[in-house]
Amino acid sequence: MIKLGIIGTNWITQQFIDATQSGTDTKLTSVYSRTMKKARTFADHNHAAEAFDDMEQFFSEGSFDTVYIASPNSLHFADAKKAILAEKNVIVEKPAFANQRQMAEITELLKQHPNVLLFEAARQIHTSNFKAIENQVAKMPVIQGAEFTYEKYSSRYDNVLAGEVPNVFSKKFAGGALQDLGVYTVYDAVTLFGMPEDVAYYPQLVATGADGKGTAILQYPEYNVILNFGKTSNSYMTSEIYGLKDTIEIDDAGEIGDVVYINDEGQRATIGNVDEINPMYPELKDFERVINNPDDPQNRLDYDRWYQLMVNVNKVLFNLRQDANIVFPGDEQ
Ligand SMILES: NC(=O)c1ccc[n+]([C@@H]2O[C@H](COP(=O)([O-])OP(=O)(O)OC[C@H]3O[C@@H](n4cnc5c(N)ncnc54)[C@H](OP(=O)(O)O)[C@@H]3O)[C@@H](O)[C@H]2O)c1
């Protein structure tokens, strides 16, 4: 049984806790919030015994062994460091860390705490629909690039238009479209095609100075992968991976609900359309499997692969930001 603590009490944390209630081996025990009222309300609603408004106390006295971190992006690093020092496993929301220096420091710290496991909650790569894409790509003799689109209007853009600076559109909190929905498209590309040789990012900035939407180009030796993502408009464009005459069509690069293979003759066959009971359920099951049995050779291989993907995605995100001159506080330290 995994005993879970949580940081952050927004809807995404509730969705993660809902996923634990679908026949999993994880139980929420401990809630941290900046206010005791919120911590207690969230804990009571989800039948957890412990509520904290002091993070030091949460880590020293909480009876959990694994923490799910869903604080604003810029706080993941400090929160994860505290967790590792307290010997707690970490599931950190995407994007795990804001820059390569933070990523490297976490990697070093984990070496000093070899029993601690750290996962980035990159939910879509754990789904069977994504695995259907991976399997199909592996079978295609020629790949000529891809275009991934994930663009959804954010209700918090209404706040930006009203002159406010919500965390997700704030550079201080390592926000912006690339760091939010863009991460999914970077994960798609890096998981399927590996590290690009070069990257370019063309952002459209909003009033807060953060990127509201943008287009990134990842250059591979033999093809380009184009990423479109944004939080200030809605896109209904499908995503595509190009073979020679064949194509994989994906309804949405972030949600991945329907995956269709279109063969050389233009015939369409659905290869993935599993409707998960909760979008976070597949990643939770994967993380549970590894936490419960970390020495199993397959689990170790999976863990190392996910960790390397996290490092690679962190690097691509950072390089894209550098290309577009998007600087977050702490980048230069
Ligand atoms: N996987 C997914 O599908 C998915 C979806 C949405 C978001 N996310 C990720 O989840 C994380 C949280 O996103 P969000 O949109 O929920 O962020 P958020 O609303 O800005 O903040 C999340 C939580 O952090 C705490 N918080 C807010 N402002 C803070 C501040 N200034 N200082 C310290 N704590 C603060 C709040 O909890 P308390 O008030 O209880 O302290 C809040 O509930 C991000 O990394 C995001 O990328 C993932």
Q: Which of 173, 121, 175, 110 is nearest to 4 (CA)?
A: 121
Q: Is the pLDDT of residue 159 over 80?
A: yes
Q: Does the global pTM surpass 0.85?
A: yes
Mean pLDDT, the chain, integer: 98
Residues of the chain with CATH 3.30.360.10: 125-280+313-332
Half-sphere exposure at residue 292, Cβ-oriented, CA atoms within 13 angstroms: 12
Q: Give the DSSP letter of residue 99.
A: S
The residue whose CB lies within 8 Å of the most ligand 1 atoms, and thus the one to mutate among 10, 32, 46, 152, is 10
What pLDDT score does 326 carry? Answer: 98
Q: pLDDT, tens digit, for every residue of 55-89? A: 999 999 999 999 999 999 999 999 999 999 999 99
Does the Cβ of 75 fall within 6 Å of ligand 1?
Answer: yes
CATH architecture, range 125-280+313-332:
2-Layer Sandwich (3.30)
CATH topology of domain 2-119: Rossmann fold (3.40.50)
Q: Give the DSSP letter of residue 246.
A: -
Does the Cβ of 74 fall within 6 Å of ligand 1?
Answer: no
Confidence at 330, pLDDT banded by 50, 70, 90: confident
Q: Which residue has the tokens 């063309």?
A: 202
Q: Is the pLDDT of residue 329 over 80?
A: yes
CA of residue 140 to ligand 1 center, whole Å = 39
Whole-angstrom Cα distance, residue 315 to residue 208?
24
To the nearest whole percent, how much of the chain has pLDDT over 70? 100
Q: Are strands 118-121 and 89-93 parallel, antiparallel or unpaired?
A: parallel
Question: Which residue type is seen at 165?
Answer: V
Judge contact between 133 and 252, C-beta under 8 A: no
Q: What are phi and psi of 227, to 5 degrees?
A: -115, 125
Q: pLDDT, tens digit, for every residue of 85-96? A: 999 999 999 999
Query: Could you tell me the strand order of the sheet in which 211-219 lies?
Result: 198-205, 211-219, 224-230, 146-151, 239-242, 247-250, 259-262, 268-272
Confidence at 333, pLDDT banded by 50, 70, 90: low
Whole-angstrom Cα distance, residue 76 to residue 85?
14
Protein residue closest via CA to atom 18 of ligand 1 = 72
Whole-angstrom Cα distance, residue 210 to residue 280?
27
* Number of other CB atoms surrounding residue 162 within 10 Å: 8
Whole-angstrom Cα distance, residue 169 to residue 112?
35
Mean pLDDT within 190-209: 98
Q: pLDDT, tens digit, for every residue of 166-194? A: 999 999 999 999 999 999 999 999 999 99
Q: pLDDT, tens digit, for every residue of 274-317? A: 999 999 999 999 999 999 999 999 999 999 999 999 999 999 99
Q: pLDDT, tens digit, for every residue of 99-130? A: 999 999 999 999 999 999 999 999 999 999 99
CA of residue 49 to ligand 1 center, whole Å = 22
Q: Which residue has the tokens 């990159």?
A: 122
Copy the structure tokens of residue 55. 């993070």
What pLDDT score does 332 carry? Answer: 77
Q: Which of 58, 245, 66, 224 is nearest to 148 (CA)?
A: 224
Residues of the chain with CATH 3.40.50.720: 2-119
Does the Cβ of 98 fall within 6 Å of ligand 1?
Answer: no
Q: Is the pLDDT of residue 254 over 70?
A: yes
Mean pLDDT within 38-45: 98
Q: pLDDT, tens digit, for every residue of 219-249? A: 999 999 999 999 999 999 999 999 999 999 9
Q: Is the pLDDT of residue 5 over 90?
A: yes
Does the Cβ of 70 fall within 6 Å of ligand 1?
Answer: yes
CA of residue 213 to ligand 1 center, whole Å = 20
* Number of other CB atoms surrounding residue 201 within 10 Å: 23
